[in-house]
């Protein structure tokens, strides 16, 4: 895959409250979509992508979240990225051999100290060649193939080559440009 290709990872088990249909679906702008219902399915899917030597420069996680945790059927917290051998021994960083942007679209995933830890630990593990992780401190909702957060801050952790945290940034997230909502993600 060429630079600019996006991997979408979404919770295939999440349902809407009213119609009980899938909340997250494959995106038309993703070069590869990985819909999973459990953390085990996520590991299996990522392992297959590593074996197939796929690479990506953008990753979008579309899930439910809370401070420092995303949900893909199972909770995946900041502690998973630093202490769980399924993550630390995985070599998933091979999927991202260049400066890569990872967005966690789950509600509140970047909130508080646990949110910073989550963004940092995910970046240190997955972005050994550099890039950044980004998430929101607010609630949001999924609308027309986009996670929308109308208030709160987004937080970004910049990762240097070698997987070291370079710096942290936070900024107020106002209503995005509705003509180019996807561009607002890749700040």
Give the pLDDT of residue 23: 62
Rounded mean pLDDT, 84-102 = 90
pLDDT surpasses 90 at 13: no
Instruction: Please tell me which residue, 152 or 59, carries the higher pLDDT value.
Output: 59
Rounded mean pLDDT, 147-156 = 69
Q: Please give the share of the chain, as a percent, with pLDDT higher than 90.
A: 44
Give the pLDDT of residue 136: 85
Rounded mean pLDDT, 173-185 = 46
pLDDT surpasses 90 at 126: yes
Enumerate the β-bridge partners of residue 116: none
Rounded mean pLDDT, 69-81 = 81
Write out pLDDT tens, residues 19-53: 445 567 777 888 999 999 888 999 999 999 999 99
Is there a contact between 62 and 37 (Cβ–Cβ < 8 Å)?
A: no
Give the pLDDT of residue 141: 57
Continuous segment of H or E residues that includes residue 158: strand 153-160
Q: Taking CA 144 as the corner, what is the angle to CA 30 and CA 171, rounded to the nearest 5 degrees?
A: 80
**Which position has the token pair 């940092």?**
120
């Amino acid at each position: 895959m060429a630079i600019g290709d996006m991997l979408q990872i979404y919770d295939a088990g999440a349902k809407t409250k009213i119609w009980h249909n899938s909340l997250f679906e494959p995106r038309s702008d993703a070069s590869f979509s990985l819909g999973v219902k459990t953390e085990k399915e996520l590991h299996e899917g990522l392992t297959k992508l590593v074996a197939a030597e796929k690479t990506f420069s953008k990753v979008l996680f579309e899930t439910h979240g809370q401070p420092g945790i995303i949900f893909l059927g199972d909770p995946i917290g900041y502690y998973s990225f630093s202490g769980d051998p399924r993550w630390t021994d995985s070599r998933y960083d091979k999927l991202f051999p260049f400066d890569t942007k990872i967005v966690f679209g789950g509600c509140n995933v970047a909130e508080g100290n646990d949110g910073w830890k989550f963004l940092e630990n995910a970046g240190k593990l997955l972005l050994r060649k550099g890039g950044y992780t980004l998430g929101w401190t607010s609630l949001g909702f999924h609308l027309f193939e986009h996670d929308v957060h109308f208030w709160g801050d987004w937080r970004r952790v910049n990762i240097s080559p070698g997987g070291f945290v370079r710096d942290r940034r936070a900024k107020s997230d106002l209503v995005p440009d509705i003509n180019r909502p996807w561009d607002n993600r890749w700040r």
